[in-house]
Structure 1
């Protein structure tokens, strides 16, 4: 290694003694080996000088600080996988240059060469004749928050001496404990630490924050939001903490955990920087902190004061084991630059020391434009101001979301300080304007529609365009006049049989133009129809007719009789509040439940979609959906109230993408509605028609499918709605080249609110339960009052007597008010303690080349991925491992010719096949490789005997153990084993297999 200076910040200097790295230094060094950490470990601050600065005195003072604290002039030497600090061949030297924000940024972000050193750079930036700024950037390997205080205090003392003409030679520091002393302390406390971590959650990389998708792992580009506590709140912090019986720090930790709890994190976990300095280290610059995850036990009804005291108790328990690195005590803890998605550091800096002849101030917490987790909160509790810096990755969280976190925390903290008796779940997050936007601004959907029912609207079209084609099927057609007359005759026969308002009529007929006559005839009679798909199992259809106590069932023979019939006087049109239809949907207990929809709700939906699509008489709609699926009502009835034509597909055609494509082309269809599964079938058959407006709904629309479908159609509208809200409740127009799919905003006369379990609005970007209100809500469930009270709730945000429907769907608001569908609440599972949403896995699978369709499910406790297309299991595993945490990567991938679908065209998750039984795979390592790896493990662990399946972490292994093993494997077998492999394969046999797979290094 050359002794020539590597940069202008250095000058040659002789060595102090080489010494083993401390536990904290070893951990940081290991993280630098594990990943590209960028500037995440860079600690930077400035000292601002206003006045006549003695530059030469400052230069001497800087040199004296470096001499007094040799850690700053160190480099790191790797000795067989163990780090040692040794003197760097060069040492920092003060550089003077013009002030520049870009230069500052470069100094902060420029990497340190740990092996060469030095680990510190000092720059004096000249902003004017009497304005200077001293920028100090130090690697965290040799510097912590308290070191900053020591640096500035020593700098002031030496500057004072040098400016007065004295000798700034530093006095010797008291001797600090050696690494062996630290190891003895850690060893003594290790049993207690293991007991502690066995009883406390370590957390994972899963956290709920506004606008956050699953946090990206590793270091990435970062940004920061900065705020200052209002003066009154800052002044009240100390007295409030004293009244509660906690410290300021404990109060602040409790407030951050309360915020995380209010966002939906049931067990908040934050990584905390805890000081580990011993009395003999108080004056030594270095890194004497240990970052450890801290979890708290919040409960909705717990007063904040009680929670803060519980946090105090928990912190005091953690303090007892604060010296023990987590990797030494927590089995299998995967290291990284952050131990939790949210971390917190707290500083109470001293006032800036005096520099003679100049006014000096210190600024700490300079941004290094990198992020090591989803959110890092740095609190600087100074004597004259309280600064808060929130660092976040813009790739994962947009700036408005990060700013909202800061606002929410301030709102919550202020309320907790003023009224610490407030229950956690009642602590406010939203300012009045934000709450108003969520509840009112984005729900301003009122439209005055006429008091008309569907039979009236269709009759108006029949009078206006009697000879226009209303319904087509095969080679048969019905004009509007013929349709209206046939439905009127059927209605007359029904009325003659005593069927009228309040009656339920089942329609069990094949798909044809007569099916439309049947539905309309029932409505004209004033009754409500129950549509039954003839392809459904007879047992289910028989259950429905018995459960609904239908007054009459109409089959194909009944609908074929269109001869004259007489009625007992003219029929009265149904009233808007009369029942229009009952649709049976699957129940969570397996018992189907009938949803009752009134004419007013049906008419509102049809007119809302008419206006959304500008639908008119020149359009042709393809009816392809099972009549037992409520969305079929849109295909059959919207065209008829707008004077358009319905093209009814046969049963055989609905299952054949090519046949449907040909049918649509032959009839010049302009509007097609299908589920995403149905659209995938159409696209596979070559569907491509830029004249078509496509509606997709009924299940989540994957982004990959949206990108595939959008160029094939003229318009693409994603619609969402449960049966209980009358077909559709929200919509979003998908533009060209979409980068996101949402379910959009509520339709006319519909309100959508996102609430937590206490029916409190959640902030923008935070997942919650979608509730719907407005004209579209169903009357309720047929004969199921217990379900009505469970699912239809009093609306606390609407007019008196209004209701909310609890959809059971998880969504979140985006900044523009659109709703993003996250999945069914009952599709969100916990597997081995981790939250998993199938939709997230499926979207990642669909993003892999060669995957056409995808699904995920849990079978016998195993996470399984299903797919169609030519992608292989190894390719899928690699792709998902790069994008998802390990617990979300399916254990098994199963390729299918097609994914099972329900008769409604949705994915039938329950019909996905079970995987084959796991097969035990023998070790890939040869005998000699296995023997060598086993011998290396015995040497490192100093054990005479060692089984091939014993776990590294059970043996007490940690980060340095891994680097030692890897160094010896590289030396003896020529294979560079990546450090993450020890967490995937933590046994002799597993590592030997990794060595065999990798082969010798080049």
Structure 2
């Protein structure tokens, strides 16, 4: 009778019969295994245990694994044991360390030696072992049973005839409550029976598991001197499919830089509305002309390729003008939030050394100090003497800009050509060692995202019925790299509506803003979106497309968005170092949260600790490659080298990939799911925070010896 286990259901506990999958080796391969074991001085059981430990290590990403094994025999020290009737079988935990650099043959020899030393304790009960180990739960969840007791058919026939008995041979692993049991049948053809609970594993996964077990066996037999980390569990076709599945579509890039892209759009639709906010409305022609004037003045102040210009402005059309002007000048912009602490802003300015600061008299980052002084004196950081700052709201600035040419700047105007590799913007992230890191994003990277984004706009959900431009809501702080997401829609000819700071922080006011302006696309963090949805009402009435990004989407919010009729919702994922978006998931494609597939021009890898591709369903670290990668961290070559590493799968010379620190896995549907972090980094309302940065500051206090920072949600 097939053994059964109990599994929870809506009706209570119901029996779930286990299923079987058998891997049967050929006689020739079985002979090779036996000869290999003899030549290495190990048993076939040790070979099987070593392979299973190695496979568990590879599939879990751990170099220290535990599985169960059965031992059979009658302890000699027990008086009268030979006359006792019954099964003398015990289940014990087998703990195996799998050093990546150890050779396969040496690994098996060590495993046998270690197991031999433990044989004196093989009759210790599993419950007692668990108590001694201080384990609160099960020590293992897979069981390996090695059945090496062949039946002598002649002896059986003689016993049946002489004693009048009927002897029945029972094969199989027997009843088990473990999710996965391997029964190894040491016969003329070595067999491995995988018995699995269907509520824990599906058959396809177990069949892949058996295939990987056999591949490891072949690899070890072929070269026992191979390092354990170099043994491949993937078939060549599976490896090729994994790598190909992570490559985003490659599209022709029509522009070299973002200024080119905007100027082309302004030429196509000069009279269309480009940006709305702060009671102002500017067409593409007006925005382009104003940005050209400011760009020309910035060039006079020293802006140009490989230079940095800081700006601190609230979300208004003037901010869009400044951002575009800095790009047109050839420089990279450094966004600053006036609400940040003065010390943090001063540290960024000292680190980045921008040639000038674009702001207003009311938004200057140092307005909280010396309010009785004139605006120019408030910005007193040494990098910004008064004559190097641009206050857009002063009469002097307006008069000066009014006499600056409105035509598009040329490379001659900039004194140097603006190239795809030149920085487009520099943005600071939280630092794990207490020092924030400035990520340098090149023009090439943001142009690639624009190209991918523009291709997606041809989907039916991204085009209004009457063909007019869509109304796009911009609710991200300008000092956050995600602010580029809605701006890309504007660069493609759509109408950008800037959400005021106070409205962005108030879900009720935001809902009214969306309705009043007829917003058809907006991207929000899950935290803010969750509050918006919780208010009820018809908050999504006019929305056609919704982007969710900045942090993980909770499952309940994911389900709500999937069930919202008439709304195309996308989960957008991307570290700052990979230019806003690296992956996109249409919520309709997955019933549970996922980050989806790579954007055009990008590549996703899920790799183990030795840069081997992780099989489908197996956890690994997520790496991002392709055209969206940053140049690195400003002035931090060591940090750049540690996070941006050589891409071993690309045929392009010098290709790199970025270590995201996110734990992920491929699903059967070819989507990527994020499962957590390899470090302590957290995201709160879309903001990336390194607890180590806060700990480093706390430790600077003379009375603090140790510090720990955790996230509390209560």
TM-score, normalised with respect to structure 2? 0.81
Note if 1:324 corresponds to 2:100: no
Contact kept, 8 Å, 2:172 with 2:193, in 1: the verdict is no
Question: CA-to-partner distance for each residue in 1:187-236, whole Å, 9 max, x for gaps?
Answer: xxxxxxxxxxxxxxxxxxxxxxxxxxxxxx99955323221123332111
Tell me, yes or no, if structure 1 residue 811 matches structure 2 residue 607: no
Choose the corresponding residue for 2:254, options 417, 439, 450: 450
Deviations 1:413-445 (A, max 9, x none): 111122211111111111111111112244252
CA distance in structure 1 between the partners assigned to 2:491 and 2:344 by the alignment:
32
Q: In structure 2, how many angstroms separate the alpha carbons of the residues matched to 1:499 and 1:347?
A: 77
Q: Name whichever of 459-468 and 514-523 sits farther off.
A: 459-468
Moved more, 264-273 or 721-730: 264-273
Q: 1:220–1:372: 8 Å Cα contact kept in structure 2?
A: no
1-structure distance, mates of 2:14, 2:147: 25
Q: Which has the larger radius of gyration?
A: 1
After superposition, where does 1:939-954 map in structure 2 within 5 Å?
none
1:912–1:408 CA distance, 2 compared to 1 (3 A): closer
2:23 to 217, 227, 236: 227
Residue 790 in 1 paired to residue 642 in 2? yes
The answer (yes or no) to whether the contact 2:20–2:195 under 8 Å persists in 1 is yes
SS state of the match for residue 269, structure 1?
A: strand
SS for the counterpart of 1:443 is: coil
Match of 1:827 in 2: 680
Aligned position for 1:249: 45
TM-aligned CA distance change 1:373 to 1:672, over 3 Å? farther
Match of 1:417 among 221, 224, 242: 221
Report the equivalent of 1:717: 570
Does structure 2 retain, via aligned residues, the 8 Å contact 1:219–1:371?
Answer: no
Worse overlay, 422-431 or 603-612: 603-612
Q: Which runs of 5+ in 2 are unaligned?
A: 7-12, 161-165, 362-390, 412-416, 693-707
**2:265–2:491 contact (8 Å) kept in structure 1:** yes
Q: Which residue of 2 aligns with 1:500?
A: 304
Distance 1:593 1:417 in 2: 48
The alignment status of 1:582 with 2:433, answered yes or no, reads no
**In the alignment, structure 1 residue 656 sits paired with structure 2 residue 503:** no
Q: What does residue 404 of structure 2 align with?
A: 566
Pick the aligned partner of 1:260 from 50, 56, 61: 56
Query: How do residues 477-556 of structure 1 correspond to structure 2 at under 5 angstroms?
Result: 477-556=281-360
- Give the match for residue 756 of structure 1: 608
Say if 2:438 is the partner of 1:594.
yes
- Counterpart residue number, 2:243: 439
| Contact 2:663-2:677 within 8 A present in 1 as well | yes
CA distance in 2, matches of 1:442, 1:406: 25
Kindly indicate whether the alpha-carbon contact (under 8 Å) linking 1:525 and 1:571 is maintained by their aligned counterparts in 2.
no
Q: Deviation of residue 283 (structure 1)?
A: 8.1
Distance 1:678-1:230 versus aligned 2 partners, 3 A rule: farther
Structure 2 counterpart of 1:605, from 449, 452, 468: 449
Change (3 A) 1:219 1:272: farther
1:624 has 2:429 as partner? no
In the alignment, what sits opposite 2:69? Answer: 272
Give the match's secondary structure for 1:786.
helix
Structure 2: how far apart are the matches of 1:338 and 1:735? 38
Q: CA deviation at 1:517?
A: 0.7
Q: Is the 8 A contact 1:338 1:373 kept in 2?
A: no
- Between 1 and 2, higher relative CO (CA 8 Å, sep ≥ 6) is seen in 2
Match of 1:343 in 2: 143
Q: Displacement, 1:353? A: 2.2
Pairing 1:378–2:183 present: yes
Distance (Å, rounded) in 1 between the aligned partners of 2:27 and 2:235: 19
1:518–1:361 CA distance, 2 compared to 1 (3 A)? farther
Task: Give 1:351 deviation, angstroms.
Answer: 4.4
Distance of 1:827 and 1:221 partners within structure 2: 41
Deviations for 1:645-701, whole angstroms, at most 9, x for unmatched residues? Answer: 111011111111111111111111111111111211222333333633111121111
CA, structure 1 residues 612+569, in 2 after alignment: closer, same or farther (shift >3 Å)? closer
Q: What SS does structure 1 have at the residue aligned with 2:64?
A: coil
Which of 549, 568, 583 is the equivalent residue of 1:697? Answer: 549
Cα distance in 1 between the residues matched to 2:5 and 2:503: 64
C-alpha RMSD over aligned residues:
3.3
> Is the contact made by 2:328 and 2:409 (CA closer than 8 Å) also made in structure 1?
no
Partner secondary structure for residue 543 of structure 2: strand
Q: Which 5+ residue runs of structure 1 have no aligned equivalent? A: 1-43, 45-104, 112-216, 829-837, 843-851, 860-908, 916-1002
Give a deviation string over 1:444-479, Cα, whole Å, max 9, x none: 522222233222222222122122111111432111
Q: For 1:718-733, list aligned pairs within 5 A.
A: 718-733=571-586
Any idea what the Cα deviations from partners look like across 1:67-89, whole Å, max 9, x if unmatched?
A: xxxxxxxxxxxxxxxxxxxxxxx
Contact 1:271 1:342 in 2 (8 A): yes
> Structure 1 residues 292 and 734 mapped into 2: Cα distance closer, same or farther (>3 Å)?
same
Match for residue 276 of structure 2? 472
Secondary structure at 1:331 match in 2: helix
Q: CA deviation at 1:711?
A: 3.3
2:100 to 286, 289, 300: 300
Would you say the 8 A contact 1:219–1:337 is kept in 2?
A: no
Q: Do 1:721 and 1:730's aligned partners in 2 also have CA atoms closer than 8 Å?
A: yes
Q: CA deviation at 1:392?
A: 2.2
Question: 1:657–1:684: 8 Å Cα contact kept in structure 2?
Answer: no
CA distance in 2, matches of 1:255, 1:312: 13
Cα separation, 2, equivalents of 1:277 and 1:220: 34
Give the counterpart of 1:237 among 13, 33, 43.
Answer: 33
* Deviations, residues 797-840 of structure 1 (Å, cap 9, x unaligned): 10221111111111111122211101111139xxxxxxxxx99x
Q: Residues 625 and 618 of structure 1: is their aligned pair in 2 closer, same or farther, counting only changes over 3 Å?
A: same
Q: How many residue pairs end up in the alignment?
A: 628
Q: Give the aligned partner of residue 887 of structure 1.
A: none
Q: CA deviation at 1:709?
A: 3.1
Contact preservation (8 Å) 2:23, 2:191: yes
Change (3 A) 1:282 1:449: farther
CA distance in 1, matches of 2:666, 2:284: 43
- The change in CA–CA distance for 1:231 and 1:772 in structure 2 (over 3 A counts) is farther
- From 508, 512, 527, give the equivalent of 1:677: 527
Alpha-carbon distance, 1:768 to partner: 0.9
Structure 1 residues 649 and 233, CA gap change in structure 2 (3 angstroms): same
What is the rounded CA distance, in whole Å, between the counterparts of 2:603 and 2:5 in structure 1? 52
SS of 1:529 mapped into structure 2: strand
In structure 1, the residue corresponding to 2:592 is in which secondary structure?
Answer: coil
**Map of 1:92 onto structure 2:** none
Residue by residue, what CA displacement relative to the aligned partner does 1:147-189 show, whole Å, maximum 9, x if unpaired?
Answer: xxxxxxxxxxxxxxxxxxxxxxxxxxxxxxxxxxxxxxxxxxx
The 1-side partners of 2:157 and 2:176 are apart by 38
- Cα deviation for residue 285 of structure 1 reads 5.7
Aligned ranges 1:127-166 → 2 under 5 Å:
none
SS in 1 for 2:28: helix
> Which stretch shows the higher mean deviation, 620-629 or 389-398?
389-398
Contact 1:371–1:393, Cα closer than 8 Å, also in 2: no
Instruction: Work out the CA distance in 2 between the residues paired with 1:492 and 1:234.
Output: 78
Could you say if the C-alpha distance between residues 663 and 749 of structure 1 is closer, same or farther in structure 2, counting changes exceeding 3 Å? same
Residue 277 of structure 1: how far off its partner (Å): 2.3
In structure 2, distance between residues paired with 1:555 and 1:371: 70
Evaluate the alpha carbon distance shift between residue 826 and residue 536 of structure 1 in structure 2; reply closer, same or farther with a 3 A threshold. same
In the alignment, does 2:655 pair up with 1:802? yes
Write the distance in 2 (CA, Å) between the matches of 1:333 and 1:341: 16
Other-structure match for 1:640: 490
